[in-house]
Every structure is written in structure tokens, then in C-alpha cells.
Structure 1
Amino acid sequence: MRAAGFTLVETLAVLTVAGLAAAALPRLVDAGAGGLVRAAAEEVAATLREARGEARRSGRTARVLFDTATGAFGLEGSARPPRRIPPGAVLAVEATADAADAGGRIAIRFDAEGGSHGGRVRIALRQAAAAAEVDWLTGHVRILR
């Protein structure tokens, strides 16, 4: 008759599986962060494209305002509330020097023909980062990974 309990092989197998799961956990968490920043960069790009389209339709300058302190961004003058990056993420905006206003917000501007002075919006969370870039001449928007 066999005594109750686990054999050494069974115990080693369980410890091996637990060790593999513990090693994979940080990667899974960062993979989730990667999805969040990519989705946020896609939202930024969509807002920038919306502003470019609005400028071309209306024949007037359109601006997307970014508040790096709060992580909020949106099309200036839009009735829609500002969008936000994921909690804990960092929003960094590179734009021309005249793009900042007195409130500390930075704008990427599109002219009536759809051109722009350009800029780059980077979102980072833990080890993951993604960015949306506006071509300085044509105003075309693309996602950088």
C-alpha cells in the first residue's frame, strides 16, 4: 500500500510550472501595457486626422490641444470632451516652439490646405511606448511603433 502525499517528481513538476508562470507574468503585464499605449496612440492619430480633415473642409486652421500634465487631448472647439491617455502613462509632445499656450498646453496645428508644422506625440507606460507623428510639410499622420 502506498503512503498518501506527493512524489518528488510530482513536486518538481509543480514547482517547474509555477516558476515558468512567474517568469512569464512580467511579460504578460507589459504586453497589456503595449496594447494600451498602441490604442492610445491610435486615438491620438485619429484625433489628428480629424483635425486635418476639419481644416481642409472648413478652410480654417484646426488645432489639437495636448495637456501633458493631465494626459488630456482633443480637437480645439469640439463639443466632444477631451480624451485621456491610460492612467499611469506619460504623454510627451514635440512641436514647434510657438505651439505652446499660456496654460501649458501644446497644440499641433493644421492649415486650410491640410499642411502642418508637424509634431510627434509619444505615449509611454512601463516598458511600452508608441507614438503618432505629423509630417511637417504634408500634414499626413502616421503611427510609429
Structure 2
Amino acid sequence: MMRNPEQEVEGRARESSTEGVNQHADQSIRKSISRYRLKGSDAISERIRELDQEWSIERTLQVNGATLALTGTLLGAFVNKRWLVVPGLVATFLLQHGMQGWCPPVTVMRALGIRWRREIEEERSSLKVIRGDFKEVTSSSTPAEVLQTIRKT
């Protein structure tokens, strides 16, 4: 089975993280599932809303990269041309992340507990299963029915 390019990048990115960091992220998801398994639907829904607001490494990298690039460009244009090295460095990191699924800021972000989008989605999907969102999906459901069920949750 072929993985899509996004899965490839996230797979390489997870491989570039230390085993301890990956285990910590996985343990966090398992703890959340255990904790909310015994709570009601309202508590699970609230946690899902929190997950919808959680910033992934990808989003954090994009926003911080754009902010630094814009700041460096403005400082280069109005203060000193040497500041133009900042957007060059940011572009290099973003290119490296796009090609390899990793760049130096990712190590810092992982250490700060920022998760990959896939890890956030794994917790969200697990909580939806516990809440019972997929009861109407069976092995005889059509692809359209499955997709409709996923989209309405």
C-alpha cells in the first residue's frame, strides 16, 4: 500500500524524533483515551474542541517561519541589509522540512510538547470512536456512506 506524500513526511519526521519523545506523545494519547473512556459524551466533545484548537508542529513552523521571514525582510529593507540572512535561513529550514520532514526547529518544538498533526488526529479519531460516532458504519456501508459519516463528526 502506498502512503501519500504527507504520510511520508510525517513518517520521516517521527523517525527523526527520539524514541523517548515519540513514546511520550503516544503515551499522552493513550492516557487521554483512558481518561475520557469513562467520561460522558459532553466531556469527550469538549476535549475534541480543545484538539481542534491545538497547534501542530506544521502550523507552528509555518506561522513562526512566516513571521521571522517577514521581520527579517522588513529589517533588511529599513535597518540593515544583513538582516536579509534571516529570511534566507527560514526558507532553508522550510525547504528542508518539506523535503525531509525535519528541520532544526522541529527538535525544539517536540521538546516543548508540540505534536504532529497526525498525532492530534489520532487522539481526535480515537475519542470519536469512544463517543460512538461511527456506530452506523459497518463493513457493508458504501464508500459514500463512510465518507459522509466521517465528515459529519
TM-score computed with the length of structure 2 as normaliser: 0.27
Q: Which has the higher contact order (CA 8 A, sep 6+)?
A: 2
- Structure 1 or 2: larger strand share? 1
Greater CA radius of gyration, 1 or 2? 1
Higher percent of residues as helix = 2
